[in-house]
Amino acid sequence: GDSVTQMEGPVTLSEEAFLTINCTYTATGYPSLFWYVQYPGEGLQLLLKATKADDKGSNKGFEATYRKETTSFHLEKGSVQVSDSAVYFCALSYHPRGSARQLTFGSGTQLTVLP
């Protein structure tokens, strides 16, 4: 079945450091890919998405590019802030014609940014 693999956490960075969180997927077709963020005590918020190969999703300084050849969707940010501390989830949605669009999530990566 479909699956998502994220790099193990936790990740601890200093403010203004470069961030990469790796995500690879397995799917039988061409899924849509997502990054969701969960701040402490809150629900999941959509951070960015990409729906086809070579698409780049971006939001709040975060970027991720849909790479079909490597089945990856790595999350990057050039300069992290303390306020970016959260858990980041990579997810996919694959929906053959007529099927539902439930999300399959990775295990999540805890990011802590120190001042």
Partner 1 sequence: DSGVTQTPKHLITATGQRVTLRCSPRSGDLSVYWYQQSLDQGLQFLIQYYNGEERAKGNILERFSAQQFPDLHSELNLSSLELGDSALYFCASSPSTSTDTQYFGPGTRLTVL
- Binding residues for partner 1 (CB under 8 A): 32, 34, 36, 42-46, 49, 51, 89, 93, 95, 99-108
CB 111 within 8 A of CB 84: yes
State the DSSP string of 23-60: EEEE-SS--EEEEEEE-TTS-EEEEEEE-STT-EEEET
Shortest reach from residue 99's CB to partner 1, in Å: 7
Shortest reach from residue 4's CB to partner 1, in Å: 10
State which residue, 18 or 30, has the beta carbon closest to partner 1.
Answer: 30
Structure token digits, residue 77: 């940010």
State which residue, 79 or 95, has the beta carbon closest to partner 1.
Answer: 95
